């Protein structure tokens, strides 16, 4: 007799959980650092701040690195969540 049960994929469940966890952490890191950078640029562009746009390059310098890191973690988690592509010989 043949069984109609699907094969067990316990390793895939763990990989999908870890991928989702990486996507959540990376997304939160990218969004929070991006919003903080935007707030600093907006505050320096305010007419009465006295700084003009002098803080914009500094905010981009310190804000772009964690934002890019968060985006990289997010996309790595998405690749783990979806599964690595199978290579055919």
Instruction: Read off the pTM.
Output: 0.75
Tabulate helix, strand, coil % of the chain (nearest 5). 70, 0, 30
pLDDT of residue 89: 47
CA distance 16 to 8: 14
7: left (phi over 0), alpha (psi -120 to 50) or beta: beta
What letter would DSSP give residue 5?
Answer: P
pLDDT of residue 14: 86
Evaluate if residue 6 carries a pLDDT over 60. Answer: yes
């Amino acid at each position: 007799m043949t069984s109609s049960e699907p094969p067990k994929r316990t390793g895939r469940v763990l990989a999908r959980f870890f991928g989702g966890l990486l996507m959540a952490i990376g997304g939160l890191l990218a969004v929070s650092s991006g919003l903080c950078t935007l707030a600093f640029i907006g505050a320096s562009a305010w007419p009465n701040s006295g700084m003009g746009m002098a803080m914009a390059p500094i905010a981009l310098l310190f804000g772009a690195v964690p934002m890019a890191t968060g985006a990289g973690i997010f996309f790595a988690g998405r690749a783990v969540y979806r599964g690595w592509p199978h290579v055919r010989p």
